[in-house]
Amino acid sequence: MKKSILILLIGMLYACAEKPTIETIQAFRATERFPEDMFLETVLNKKALIVVAHDDDDCMMSGTVAKLTASGWQIKQLSLVTHESSEMGKNPAHIICQGNEKILSEGDIYRLGLDTMKNPYVPIPYAEMEQQFLTEKVANALIKKINEYDPSVIFTLDNIKGGYGHPEHIFISNLVVELFQDGLIHNQRIYQSVYTDHMEHSIVDIWLKNKMEKWGYPNPSEIANALYGIDGMPEPDVEITISDYATVKKNYLMAYPESAQKNLRKFIPYFQEFDAKTYFGVFDKEFFRVIK
Report the chain's mean pLDDT, rounded to a whole number. 92
22: left (phi over 0), alpha (psi -120 to 50) or beta: alpha
Kindly tell me if the per-residue pLDDT of 286 is higher than 60.
Answer: yes
pLDDT at 2 over 50: no
Instruction: Tell me if 221 sits within 8 A of 121, measured CB to CB.
Output: no
pLDDT for the residue numbered 41: 95
Q: Strand (E) positions, 56-198?
A: 74-81, 100-102, 153-157, 189-194
pLDDT of residue 86: 53
d(CA 224, CA 79): 23
Beta bridge partners of 100: 77
In angstroms, how far is the first alpha carbon of the chain from the final one? 37
Residues of the chain with pLDDT > 90, as a percent, come to 81
Provide the pLDDT for residue 90. 78
Cα distance between residue 172 and residue 181, in whole Å: 14
pLDDT at 15: 46
Which domains are present in the chain? Answer: 2-291 (3.40.50.10320)
- Count the alpha carbons within 13 Å of 251 in the hemisphere toward its beta carbon: 11
- Quick check: 185 and 142 in contact, CB under 8 A? yes
pLDDT reading at 257 higher than 70: yes
Per the DSSP assignment, residues forming a β-bridge with 49 are 76, 154
pLDDT of res. 74: 98
pLDDT at 89: 65
What percent of the chain has pLDDT above 70? 92
pLDDT digits (tens, 9 = 90+) for 214-248: 888 888 999 999 999 999 999 999 999 999 999 99
Q: What is the pLDDT of residue 14?
A: 46
Q: Is the predicted pLDDT of residue 10 greater than 60, yes or no?
A: no
| Per-residue pLDDT, 85 | 62
Contact 98, 47 (CB under 8 A): no
Q: Which band of pLDDT confidence, cut at 50, 70 and 90, is reported for residue 197?
A: very high
Predicted confidence at residue 214, as pLDDT, reads 85
Amino acid making up residue 248? V
pTM of whole model > 0.85? Answer: yes
User: For residue 3, is pLDDT > 60?
Assistant: no
**What confidence score (pLDDT) does residue 88 get?**
62
Higher local confidence (pLDDT), 209 or 37: 37
**Residues 54-100: pLDDT tens digits?**
999 999 999 999 999 999 999 999 999 998 765 566 799 999 999 99
